[in-house]
Structure 1
Amino acid sequence: MKTLDTLDWVFIGIYFLVLFGVAVWVILKKQKNTEDYFLAGRNVGWFVVGASIFASNIGSEHVVGLAGAGAGDKFPMLIYELHAWVVLMLGWVFLPFYARSGVFTMPEFLEKRFSAKSRWLLSVFSLLAYVLTKISVTIYAGGVVVSALLGINFWVGALATVILTGLYTVLGGMRAVIYTETLQTIVLIIGAATLTVMGVNAVGGFSSMKETLGPEYFNMWRPATDPDFPWPSLLMTSTIVGIWYWCTDQYIVQRVLTAKNIKEGRRGTIWGGFLKLLPVFLFLIPGVVALVLKQRGELQWDSPDEAFPVLMSNLLPSGLRGLVAAGLLAALMSSLASVFNSCSTLFTVDIYKKLKPDTPEHELVKIGQIATVIVVICGIAWIPIMANISGVLYEYLQSVQSYIAPPITAIFLLGIFLKRINAAGAYTTLVVGLIVAAIRITLELVKSNLSGFLFELADMNFLTFGAYFFLFCVALTIVVSLATAPPPAEKTAGLTFGTLSEQDKKDNKTSYGWVDIAASLVVLAMVITVMVYFNGK
């Protein structure tokens, strides 16, 4: 890899100066209350909401991993980048219920729809999952990327990024997070788009790539008998994970709750849906370009995860390398800022405020800031452990989502669509679901020592397991709910499709126009086009 030169550092310096300016501008606007600190005063427009959704999703491990999938014959993973249609579901299906309920967090919504027990369970579980997976993985991958790009020590790169990001997240709250994310989205798109265009030109166009690798390489639909990516399981489990991540996870939904109203929030999800289609071209294709160049003997790398940084350092001229490096740093920092803020919101609103309901607003803001600092420290403390974890377990963390998502997706979907679903059904599914997920993870870790049924359970393809697990969770929720008393009217009024008042329906109709419908249909058409195009023919 080529090292960065003076002009590259100038570009990186400019990026940090502008980022610092935006952060200071936001921090100087005093945070009056919890709504201001955690949801930016619920006064954000659609463009910033959509950019924030995209920036939260794209971390440095996402960029590097997706390029690695393109370079490592894992093209079916592309389906996770076609979740633009699931982002639309957030705006059209889920957001009106979240906005009407006036909640800050997803566990808070579960309490309104089901019970306080469900809220506690999801709150504690989400916090643990964020610290052990999202924060640790992002920091570890970020440290690797920063040290490789800037030629500095892993620890220096990881610590500097975490501390800098943590600083403006603590001081500026959600407003600092979403406005810096808008800037970071622009930098990341410009940088990665430049690399994609130059990369495709360098290999002689897309047709030349197909000739070198063969059309079958570009097939995202493997047979149902494929051991790694059977298409029915891939389609179903990726959808389940998508609904959990995009429609019920605090990490993403919090961005939409900052919108001025339902109309702006929905438009933010439509804009976010457009942006969500970009990684296919911005990150996956550069990985394929790197593979083509390697096969032609023009590029050298050992692991598919090195494809993106090696291609960037060798293909781009001075200055542009710095721009793309700034884009990768932006991806890392935006993801970290998002998860820091989500953790502090969950702790302050769902745990601290429940234990001490009379705490004044200004004190809750301070608690939120302290919670962010603690999360930052936990993330830093976890780095040595992540640094010693093998690549196998790092990849394994990605499949864990297929075990976490089914119970949560099941109760949110059923809770909104069926008013007969009650607190007992939801809580039982959450508890049993988390136990089953823990058992599967444990069995997978000790698989080599197992035999018989336990080995079969541990060895089952994670996508197939996720699909069956979701069907089990749906059945369990329905059976337990029907076997127990119906939920009281106050737990369903306005929170399910069957209990919307005439005013609710009227308000919903006035919250969108033909432009919103047309834009959503364009996003859907783009998703279908990509799915049809990459069929290996």
Structure 2
Amino acid sequence: MTWPLVGLSLYMSNIGSSSFMGVAGSAAAKGVAVLCYEFCGLFGIILLGYAFIPVYVSSGAFTMPEYLRRRFGGSRLQMYLAVQNLILFVFTKLSGELYGGVLILQQALLIDNKYLALLGLLAVTTLYTILGGLSAVIYTDALQGVIVVIGAFILTGFSLNAVGSYENMENLYFRSIANETLLGNSTCGLADPDAFKMMRPITDPEYPWLGISLGAFILSGWYFCTDQVLVQRILAAKDLTHAKAGTAMAAILKILPLFIMIWRRHGGENSLPGFPVAAAMPPTFTWCWRVMPTIVKGLMVSALLAALMSSLTSIFNSAATLFTVDIWLKFRPHANNKEQMLVSRVFTLGFLLIGIAWLPTVDLAEGGQIFHYLQQINSFLAPPLFACFLMAVMWTRMNEEGAFWAWPSGWWWAMIWSFIESPPGCGEEDTRHELLRNFHYLHFAIFLFSLSAIISFVVSLVTRPLPKERLVGTTIWTLRSNEEIQRILDETEVPDMQALAKESEQKEGSGGRDWKTTLIHVFCGATEVEDQLDESVREAIELRMTATASRVNPKWQTLVDILSAAAVAIGLFMWGFFN
């Protein structure tokens, strides 16, 4: 895949309906500080392109658990991460997207039977994910990305035009008060006085400066550098230059939430009856439906549905890849290509059923701050994982024991914290201990990351180091040079797969196939050519693919580096602008 497709697909996989609706809801309730996740995400994407992707590609891994196996050996880390990711797909990604989907269907399309409508969306996205695979997902992501950006900018224009200027938008926001108080406390309906500041006091209950600068970066690093849904898009790039260009494009696009989510929301709505916080989530479409022409309403709904479908297809495709590569092949190591494709498609259907069963839970999200809830969950689970991957990529002395013991140790702390730390709602008495009362979940993410890194460091030093051959191509310091890559390409001979496929089709055509065989053939999405190759040829093909993807185009690399540096500069400027 070329860099525009990679960049748009990465961006759309990130900016699903949960972000589109959730970021706007959190910003309306507490101000622009929620953008810390977007701006830290910008730096996380650049880190992915320049530190992690070269290692992933060089190692020949297709999934994050598979990288751990190639880096450390053994299989317990691989299985552990695969199972954890599949669970998180359901409890965070799928639940967040379904919640956003319910809001879209209820408010934009005025559909009463939201579950039936969501069932239809799930069925459609599952169908083209199964039949088209990753290529279809990336192409549709790119198309939907264009729709989302255009539609959101038009809506932002209407919003700012309605208020006249940025200064008027700030004034109107601070005058926005909930028309109805649900908690018997009028202060719960007032706008936050620090709504347009990002760097707030360290004691701020929502966005303390240390938490949003360092804690949010840890979450962003985990999300962009180790999440299968996002990394898989970059791994589809034709070479490293296209991969880095795609990350630079996605990083620049991370600035857009300020305009397409925050200003769109603050500019359009100034009084929200029926909700306990100023400018809470619903009714986000009420103002839009009053002032926008019909064609723009349709474009906006298309943009929101595109964001929803894009994220769902990314989740389905990545979950199927994880299950097939990291779990199924563990028990069926000699499964041929057709069997793997069949298992992947059947698992996608199974994941659809899980999504259907999960629909009733979307009503549990209260107050419109689903994005805030997801970040709390991530703060408990992500830091040990990011510490493990970051040290695996950056530190050659780290071994399997260090990674394994640091990971569960962090999880135990997270489980304890999740039980004892339960912040009260607005207007409720805070009965927690003073230490817990002032210890924000983003600060806990910093603590958990540091603890996991220290445990990994100590355990790795007191146990036996890995053999040097295990480190080849699996850390940032042991990547293959361009000369070595070219030597591999020159020395590795592989058969002409297109010629073999054509020959196989001719043989099948002469013998004929019944409709059942044809249907299975289409559903599996694979020919028998790959299954006819011996193991040595398969290894040669994999080696050549890895070498090809690891190449760097010197002609364009300098320009890509400049664009990446510009993206970082823009991110730093935005941090300064809101401080």
* Bin of the TM-score, shorter chain as denominator length: 0.7 to 0.9
- Deviation, structure 1 residue 334: 0.4
- Deviation, structure 1 residue 388: 4.2
Report the TM-score, using the length of structure 1 for normalisation: 0.85
Q: Cα deviation per residue 1:100-124 (whole Å; 9 max; x = unaligned)?
A: 1111100100111123211111000
Match of residue 558 from structure 2? 514
CA–CA separation in structure 1 for the residues paired with 2:477 and 2:342: 40
CA–CA separation in structure 1 for the residues paired with 2:284 and 2:420: 34
Task: Indicate whether 1:92 and 2:69 are aligned.
Answer: no
Which of the residues 315, 319, 328 maps onto 2:295?
319
- Deviation, structure 1 residue 340: 0.5
CA contact (8 A) 2:58 2:479 kept: no
CA–CA separation in structure 2 for the residues paired with 1:308 and 1:513: 43
- Deviation, structure 1 residue 135: 0.9
Query: Residue 301 and residue 531 in structure 1: after superposition, are their counterparts in 2 closer, same or farther (change >3 A)?
Result: farther
Match of residue 228 from structure 2? 250
Which of the residues 101, 104, 108 maps onto 1:142?
101
Q: Cα deviation per residue 1:306-332 (whole Å; 9 max; x = unaligned)?
A: 253233222311110111011000111
CA–CA separation in structure 2 for the residues paired with 1:476 and 1:95: 26
Structure 1, unmatched stretches of 5+, are: 1-43
Match of residue 471 from structure 1? 450
Q: Cα deviation per residue 1:66-113 (whole Å; 9 max; x = unaligned)?
A: 111232123211111112222111111111111111111001001111
CA–CA separation in structure 2 for the residues paired with 1:241 and 1:515: 29
CA–CA separation in structure 1 for the residues paired with 2:89 and 2:252: 26
Which of the residues 50, 59, 62 maps onto 1:104?
62
CA–CA separation in structure 1 for the residues paired with 2:215 and 2:224: 14
SS in 2 for 1:178: helix
Query: Residue 504 and residue 103 in structure 1: after superposition, are their counterparts in 2 closer, same or farther (change >3 A)?
Result: farther
CA contact (8 A) 2:239 2:551 kept: no
- Deviation, structure 1 residue 230: 1.2
The one-letter code sitting in structure 2 at the alignment partner of 1:436 is: W
- Deviation, structure 1 residue 208: 1.9
1:39-50 alignment, distance < 5 Å: 44-50=1-7
Match of residue 401 from structure 2? 424
CA–CA separation in structure 2 for the residues paired with 1:449 and 1:351: 47
What's the RMSD between the two structures over aligned residues?
Answer: 2.5
Structure 2, unmatched stretches of 5+, are: 175-192, 486-549
SS in 2 for 1:497: coil
The one-letter code sitting in structure 2 at the alignment partner of 1:46 is: W
SS in 1 for 2:377: helix
Task: Indicate whether 1:276 and 2:254 are aligned.
Answer: yes
Aligned residues: 486
Identity across the alignment (%): 35
Which of the residues 185, 208, 222 maps onto 1:230?
208
Match of residue 73 from structure 1? 30
Q: Cα deviation per residue 1:409-447 (whole Å; 9 max; x = unaligned)?
A: 101111111101110000111222222222222333599
CA–CA separation in structure 1 for the residues paired with 2:396 and 2:483: 16
Match of residue 284 from structure 2? 308
Task: Indicate whether 1:165 and 2:141 are aligned.
Answer: no
The one-letter code sitting in structure 2 at the alignment partner of 1:473 is: S
Task: Indicate whether 1:184 and 2:163 are aligned.
Answer: no
- Deviation, structure 1 residue 367: 0.6
Report the TM-score, using the length of structure 2 for normalisation: 0.79
Match of residue 444 from structure 1? 421
Match of residue 368 from structure 1? 344
Query: Residue 180 and residue 500 in structure 1: after superposition, are their counterparts in 2 closer, same or farther (change >3 A)?
Result: closer
Query: Residue 450 and residue 71 in structure 1: after superposition, are their counterparts in 2 closer, same or farther (change >3 A)?
Result: closer
Query: Residue 131 and residue 221 in structure 1: after superposition, are their counterparts in 2 closer, same or farther (change >3 A)?
Result: same
Match of residue 186 from structure 2? none
Q: Cα deviation per residue 1:160-188 (whole Å; 9 max; x = unaligned)?
A: 11111111111111111111111110111
- Deviation, structure 1 residue 251: 1.0
The one-letter code sitting in structure 2 at the alignment partner of 1:71 is: A
Which of the residues 20, 35, 51 maps onto 2:8?
51
SS in 1 for 2:417: helix
Query: Residue 219 and residue 388 in structure 1: after superposition, are their counterparts in 2 closer, same or farther (change >3 A)?
Result: closer
CA–CA separation in structure 2 for the residues paired with 1:449 and 1:483: 48
CA–CA separation in structure 1 for the residues paired with 2:438 and 2:356: 33
